[in-house]
C-alpha cells in the first residue's frame, strides 16, 4: 500500500513538473536567478561555522579530546 502511494506521489510530481514547464516557464527562470548566489551563501556559512568551531576549541576550558568524541 505504501509503495503504491509513493509511486502515485512520484507520478504526481512528474505530471506537475511537465505542466509547469509548459504553462509557467517564468517560475523556472525566477528559481534559476535565485539559486545563482547559493554558492556564496554556502561558502560564507562554511567559513563562519569553521571559525566558530576553531574559537570553541581554543577556549581555555575546552576538552583536549574534543575532536575524537564522534569516533
**What digits encode the pLDDT tens for the residues 10-40?**
445 555 555 555 566 666 666 665 666 778 8
DSSP 66: G
What is the rounded distance in angstroms from the CA atom of residue 24 to the CA atom of residue 27? 6
pLDDT band, very low/low/confident/very high, at 48 (cuts 50, 70, 90): very high
Q: What is the pTM of this model?
A: 0.40
pLDDT computed for residue 35 by the predictor: 63
The answer to whether 56 and 62 have CB atoms below 8 angstroms apart is yes
Amino acid at each position: 500500500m505504501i509503495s503504491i502511494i509513493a509511486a502515485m506521489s512520484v507520478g504526481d510530481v512528474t505530471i506537475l513538473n511537465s505542466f509547469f514547464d509548459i504553462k509557467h516557464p517564468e517560475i523556472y527562470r525566477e528559481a534559476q536567478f535565485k539559486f545563482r548566489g547559493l554558492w556564496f551563501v554556502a561558502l560564507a556559512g562554511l567559513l563562519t561555522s569553521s571559525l566558530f568551531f576553531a574559537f570553541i576549541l581554543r577556549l581555555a576550558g575546552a576538552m583536549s579530546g574534543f575532536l575524537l568524541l564522534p569516533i
